Amino acid sequence: MTTQAWISLGACAGLLALAGLALVRVGRSPMGLPLAVLCISLSTWNFADFALEHAGGPGWRLIATCATLMSVPPALHFVLAFVGERRRLAVVMYATYAVFGVLALLSLVGLGSPRVADEVDSRGFTRMVLALSAPLLLGSFGLLTWHLRREPRSTERARTGLLLTGLALLVTLLGTDVVAVLGQDVPRLGGLGTLLGLPAIAVVALRLRLFGQELSNVHAMYALLLSLVGVLSYLTVFRVFAARHGALVVGTAAITLALLAITRRGVIAFTAQRERLEQMATLGRFSAQMAHDLKNPIAALKGATQYLQEEHARGRSWDDKGEFLELLLEQVERLDRVVSTYQRLGRVEPLLAPLDVNHLVTSVLSLQGFAGSPEVELHRELAEGLPSCAGDWDLLATALENLVRNALEAMPRGGVLTVRTRAEDTGVVLSVEDTGEGMNARTRERAFDDFYTTKATGSGLGLAFVRRVVEAHGGRVTLTSHEGRGTTVTLRLPVSATRVP
């Protein structure tokens, strides 16, 4: 067997292993699915290249073309997810899947139509694919370079640099196969390109924790072992049935189905275990969020009750302790409002009434325990004469408390917390700004997702809660953040017809 064949098989095994690791993270990371599809496409291309050398026939060449076409959309999808632009450029991403999906389907149609096969193998078709791919590849390089320049953290810069290196090797060396198809006398180094680009992606995924700490070396060894068994099985089938094309197709198809079945069973087992853990974690996080909202009124009730109990034990009269009884009643009512708040949030039914945003801000900030963070400096920049909003005081107060708490937690070594209000033509703007750690691009994109958190003890409900509350009021939430430079969350609320004096 030639060196090129060994390179193709090695790349095929490595890519299948990386695809298995990525499949484990599907649903947990937006990069899991595109990376899995990209690795499967490139693995198919390497296998088709190996099969073309050993068995010949135009069918393998068409399969290789189909795999090449289907590698472009997931590559773009992965880059967009990595730099945090997946949602903003979703139209470009889905259009790429549609266009290249149609071209890949055309390649498969060529398996049963010699006329279509000749068209797919033509230089005109290759030039068209190059014309469509070039802007997407250049855009991907540009996004990664832009991400590299704006990220201050060394780990993220190392991830980006390795991905740029891997993508450059992949595109450059795969390009030699395209140039050869166009009739130029150059060595075909596509298999070597996938083999050399693979370690960069593997290092980013495993050593630099691209998918988080849950992706262990045990998963990597299992995936690699499974892929090696698959490649060895393919090799055995080609040696035994080299001259019998029908048996060769049946054998490779059976091995592929078996690999998919084993992988599917492993992923399902892992996913089922993970879902059970997530259900328990979700219940725990929700309980933690509710416990936090109930903690302050319960503490006030306890303190007032203990004081009155002590006064009673000393035989003192309660005649002058009316304010404590009022406090007890007030906190009981507050507990009732907290329970009602969660019920209204679940039904997305805020109780709207004219609301002074400045009064809301002042009330919430006055209840914050800044004693535990004396190094945090609080600034209030509240515009005068704001129009009243149609809002639910309890829901909006809880949302603002979440934002303030997040800002304090983002500044463990101190900083400045600024709460601003201002009027706009369509409503009132409330923003909470901190000078804390900030978020990277991927965290920013998922910040408002339910139960998404980067904190070991976080509930993942804070910003999701804020988003639901504001949207229930007919408003919208925006977030801007940069690592090392802080975060700003801005709420835009519609105004009511009356103004607060």
Domain CATH code at residue 176: 1.20.1070
- Asked whether residue 285 is domain-assigned, the answer is no
Report the b/e string of 102-133 with b at 16+ CB within 10 A. Answer: ebbebbebbeeeeebbeebbeeebbeebeeeb
pLDDT at 501: 38
pLDDT at 313: 81
Query: Would the pLDDT of 74 be above 90?
Result: yes
Boundary-marking domain end, from 192, 218, 243: 243
Query: Would the pLDDT of 280 be above 70?
Result: no
- Asked whether residue 213 is domain-assigned, the answer is yes
Degrees, nearest 5: CA angle 366-390-498: 100
Which residues constitute the domain of residue 202? 3-243
- Asked whether residue 348 is domain-assigned, the answer is no
Boundary-marking domain end, from 200, 215, 243: 243
Higher-confidence residue of 453 and 477: namely 477
Q: Which of 27-41, 252-266, 282-296, 321-335 has the weakest average pLDDT?
A: 252-266
pLDDT at 414: 83
Asked if residue 239 and residue 360 are part of one domain, the reply reads: no
Please give the structure tokens belonging to residue 471.
């949207």
Asked if residue 363 and residue 233 are part of one domain, the reply reads: no
Q: Which of 12-26, 73-87, 142-156, 454-468 has the weakest average pLDDT?
A: 454-468
Question: Which stretch of DSSP H or E encloses residue 423?
Answer: strand 415-424
Higher-confidence residue of 151 and 349: namely 151
Asked if residue 374 and residue 234 are part of one domain, the reply reads: no
pLDDT-derived band at 459 (thresholds 50, 70, 90) equals very low
pLDDT at 144: 93
Mean pLDDT of all residues in the chain? 77
Query: Would the pLDDT of 498 be above 70?
Result: no
**Can you tell me the mean pLDDT for 359-368?**
81
pLDDT at 16: 76
pLDDT-derived band at 156 (thresholds 50, 70, 90) equals confident
- Asked whether residue 229 is domain-assigned, the answer is yes
Please give the structure tokens belonging to residue 270.
């892992």
Domains contained in the chain, number: 2
Cα(315)–Cα(309) distance, integer angstroms: 10
**Can you tell me the mean pLDDT for 323-333?**
76
pLDDT-derived band at 285 (thresholds 50, 70, 90) equals low
Decide the pairing of beta strands 476-482 and 415-424: unpaired
Cα(231)–Cα(246) distance, integer angstroms: 19
Degrees, nearest 5: CA angle 233-239-244: 110
Query: Would the pLDDT of 143 be above 90?
Result: yes
Decide the pairing of beta strands 353-355 and 387-391: antiparallel
Query: Would the pLDDT of 90 be above 80?
Result: yes
- Asked whether residue 176 is domain-assigned, the answer is yes
**Can you tell me the mean pLDDT for 129-141?**
93
pLDDT at 234: 66
Residue 177 burial (10 A CB sphere; 0-12, 13-18, 19+): buried
Higher-confidence residue of 33 and 245: namely 33
Q: Is the pTM of this model over 0.75?
A: no
- Asked whether residue 309 is domain-assigned, the answer is no
Query: Would the pLDDT of 372 be above 50?
Result: no
Boundary-marking domain end, from 243, 271, 304: 243
Q: What is the pLDDT of residues 375-432, one digit of tens each?
A: 788 888 999 888 888 888 888 888 888 888 888 888 888 888 999 999 887 789 999 9
Strands (E) across 228-375 are located at 353-355
Q: Which of 76-85, 443-452, 467-476 has the weakest average pLDDT?
A: 443-452
CATH number at 450 reads 3.30.565.10
**Can you tell me the mean pLDDT for 319-331?**
74
**Cα distances (angstroms) measured from residue 8 to each of 13, 34, 193, 233, 475:** 9, 22, 10, 15, 54
pLDDT at 220: 60
**Can you tell me the mean pLDDT for 177-204?**
74
- Asked whether residue 56 is domain-assigned, the answer is yes
Asked if residue 359 and residue 224 are part of one domain, the reply reads: no
pLDDT at 420: 92
- Asked whether residue 133 is domain-assigned, the answer is yes
Asked if residue 67 and residue 200 are part of one domain, the reply reads: yes
Cβ distance 226 to 16 under 8 Å?
yes
pLDDT at 490: 93
